Structure 1
Amino acid sequence: MTDITNALANKPVVEAIQYLLEQYPGAVAFSTSFGQEDQVIADIIWRNHLPVRVFTLDTGRLFQETYDVMDVTLARYKQPIEVFYPETAAVEKLVSEKGPNSFYDSVENRKQCCGIRKVVPLNRALEGVKVWITGLRAEQSENRHDMQTLEWDEHRHLYKYNPLIHWGYDEVLAYLSQNNVPYNKLHDKGYISIGCAPCTRAIGPGEHPRAGRWWWEQSQKECGLHG
């Protein structure tokens, strides 16, 4: 861990990813949910022709605007994006037994839904992966404040590389603008952190970026993908 951390120290994102690809050829993957941070990383990967495997999770409850930006992104870069869906039987059982909106009833129910629709598909997508690239930023939530650029995911036995962890929101917006990167139009309507449609709302002035996620509950505002 120390050796690879030192090797990545002070490297620009492109050079860092190139180094990780050299160390783990064919085993570096980037997960995108088509948020602003993820669009920055996708642009960096494809603009620089980096052979990183890119995938996304389709929970079955996404905004139409999320599908729209995926469509535009595919047309713009003409690069493949693998799509992973929840297990049909698990979703059918959940909805049959608890209804389509059980996540509003309790944190336990919400985490169960996230587990079925996100965590299980993610674990399947990460099989064989040695380095998982994410779009996490420290200021997104308290849970992410102390995260490092490179971390060891003990549960999944892989490195998690967070190239934007120390970026500010203004830096993300500047990159998108300067490079004409397509982004989700919901961001222009106050949706900063975008997840599933029934679990996401716009935030008001002064609200925390994650306040629009699972706004009806008091929790760490995480779904289990990153803790």
Structure 2
Amino acid sequence: MDQSIIDILNQPKSIKENLKFLNDKVEGKIVFSSSFSMEDQLITDAIFSQNLNNIEVFTLDTGRFFQETYSVWSKTLLKYKYPIKPYYPNTESIEKFVLEKGINPFYESIELRKQCCHIRKVEPLQRALKDATVWITGLRAEHSATRNNLNIIEWDEHYQLYKYNPILHWNTQEVEDYVKQNKVPYNLLYDQGFVSIGCAPCTRAIQKGEDFRAGRWWWEDASKKECGLHSS
């Protein structure tokens, strides 16, 4: 990617302006990964509401989503009338894993939890990112200490592409305000104390004062709470 494009994307313009610029100026495959989080719904709105057809929106359906997540997926399709490409776990891999380890082995050890995440998320992501030039994400620095050192746009050596984090420095209130003002469909679990929503067996609501990621893999040490999607 040309340095002049990187410099422009690093400027404090609106989310819609920067995504339109990316859509119009960058050659190659541009993809956006959505988990249907409030952050991702915001970015989806900025893409679909501007008819940015050069950006492919996809999701990694692990097969263990909350019903509320499938509901917001459906509402998003109805509102914008644009496709969201699903990627699923490899059938043989997940069948073998469940047969040998059981249906909920992730509670037993971090190793088994990471194996489950790899099969259900990481391997499908590798397929989704194949031949991509830019990967857009909904990561925010406020999410966790490990994300404080990220840049808005940076080279991802692991996946050999540019990772673009357009709302990296947004705070929670700014995200919520955008969603409300633009009438963006959002996961109703947010209204029940869920703030970081993943697979149903591995996610719970958090209490006031708890860390943003406290509801994810709550039985594990806080320093190990990543699934591998954003690990280089």
Q: Per the shorter chain, which TM-score range? A: over 0.9
Q: State the Cα distance separating 1:131 from its structure 2 match.
A: 0.4
CA contact under 8 A between 1:132 and 1:160: conserved in structure 2?
A: yes
Alignment TM-score, normalising by the size of structure 2: 0.94
Q: Give structure 1 stretches of 5+ with no counterpart.
A: none
AA aligned to 1:221 is K
Alignment partner, residue 41 of structure 2: 39
1:27 counterpart (26, 29, 34): 29
CA contact under 8 A between 1:20 and 1:131: conserved in structure 2?
A: no
Deviations 1:118-141 (Å, cap 9, x if unpaired)?
000001011111000000000101
Q: Does the alignment pair 1:202 with 2:205?
A: yes
Please list, as runs of the form range in 1=range in 2, the aligned pairs for 1:63-212 lying within 5 A after superposition.
63-212=66-215
Alignment partner, residue 19 of structure 2: 17
CA contact under 8 A between 1:143 and 1:220: conserved in structure 2?
A: no
CA contact under 8 A between 2:110 and 2:220: conserved in structure 1?
A: yes
Q: State the Cα distance separating 1:221 from its structure 2 match.
A: 1.3
Q: Distance in 1 between matches of 2:10 and 2:131?
A: 25
Alignment partner, residue 222 of structure 1: 226
Q: State the Cα distance separating 1:26 from its structure 2 match.
A: 4.8
SS in 2 for 1:152: strand
Deviations 1:99-156 (Å, cap 9, x if unpaired)?
0111111111111100000000001011111000000000101111111110111011
Q: Distance in 2 between matches of 1:5 and 1:169?
A: 25
Q: Distance in 1 between matches of 2:105 and 2:174?
A: 37
Q: Give structure 2 stretches of 5+ with no counterpart.
A: none
Alignment partner, residue 6 of structure 1: 7
Q: State the Cα distance separating 1:3 from its structure 2 match.
A: 4.2
AA aligned to 1:193 is S
Q: State the Cα distance separating 1:48 from its structure 2 match.
A: 1.3
Q: Distance in 2 between matches of 1:18 and 1:172?
A: 19
Deviations 1:13-68 (Å, cap 9, x if unpaired)?
22322332344335111110100000000001111111211000100111000000
Alignment TM-score, normalising by the size of structure 1: 0.96
Q: Distance in 1 between matches of 2:80 and 2:112?
A: 38
CA contact under 8 A between 2:19 and 2:46: conserved in structure 1?
A: no
Q: Distance in 2 between matches of 1:130 and 1:82?
A: 17
